[in-house]
Amino acid sequence: MNKTLHYLRLDVHKDSIAVSIAPQGITEVRRYGLIGGSLDAVDLHLCVTARSGPRRSSASLSS
């Protein structure tokens, strides 16, 4: 199975976190969306992303 490394950027604010993702070898960074600022929201987002892979849309994520 081929695996692709993705770089993840988290722009952390008091009430939200903006998430951006860039696959290895590609210079374009894509905005992934916004998640809540709580640890539970981050945990949920990472679990969902690990299972399904990064989405292509830039819609906001609900926490």
pLDDT in tens, 5-53: 888 888 998 899 998 888 888 888 888 888 888 888 888 877 777 777 6
Q: Select from 52, 5, 57 the least CA-distant residue to 34.
A: 57
Q: Which domain holds residue 15?
A: 6-52
Cα 19–Cα 34–Cα 44 angle in degrees, nearest 5: 85
| Domain presence at residue 57 | no
For the chain, the domain total comes to 1
Residue with tokens 């539970």: 40
Residue 44 lies in a domain: yes
Q: What angle do CA 16, 17, 20 make, to 5 degrees?
A: 150
In a domain, 37, yes or no: yes
**Rounded to two decimals, what is the model's pTM?**
0.61
Specify if 58 maps to a domain.
no
Decide if 33 is inside a domain. yes
- Residue 29 domain flag: yes
pLDDT of 16 reads 92
Residue 6 CA to residue 8 CA, distance in Å, equals 6
